[in-house]
Amino acid sequence: MAFSEAIAERIRNYFVDHHLYDVEEKRMMGGLTFMLNGKMCVGVFKANLMCRINPAEHEEVIEENGCSTMEFNDKGLHGYVLIEEAALHKIETFAYWMQKSIAFNPQAKASKKK
């Protein structure tokens, strides 16, 4: 299944509107990932917004409407959540998730270069 181009465009616009330009797009895990400052920040997986958040907040935020733990190879990824497209209709809700991911980015570890 392809990823939601509508969510991808909202992400692009958010970064531009907030003057965040050190962003690179990469296709991975069947979706599109946005790297901020060389680190995975947000992405689109199928019809969901994927957010990399502070792992210490994980258990609290998965209680939010439309939010669930991202899974990869049948394992839950602590610190990565998916938000259903239906839960993102309000601009404020989309901004909340973007801000949460961007705020964690400076503390996030970059993946090892190959």
Q: What average pLDDT does the chain have?
A: 93
Q: How many CB atoms lie within 10 A of CB 78?
A: 13
Q: Are 92 and 99 within 8 A, CB to CB?
A: no
pTM of the predicted protein model: 0.92
Confidence of residue 111 (pLDDT cuts 50, 70, 90): confident
Element containing residue 47 per DSSP (H, E): none
Q: Does the pLDDT value for residue 34 go beyond 90?
A: yes
Domains in the chain: ranges and CATH? 5-104 (3.90.1150.30)
Q: pLDDT tens, 36-49? A: 999 999 999 999 99
CA-based nearest residue to 33, from 78, 87, 70:
70
Q: Is the pLDDT of residue 74 over 90?
A: no
Residue 29 above 90 pLDDT?
no
How wide is the angle at C-alpha 97 spanned by C-alphas 36 and 89, nearest 5°?
A: 125
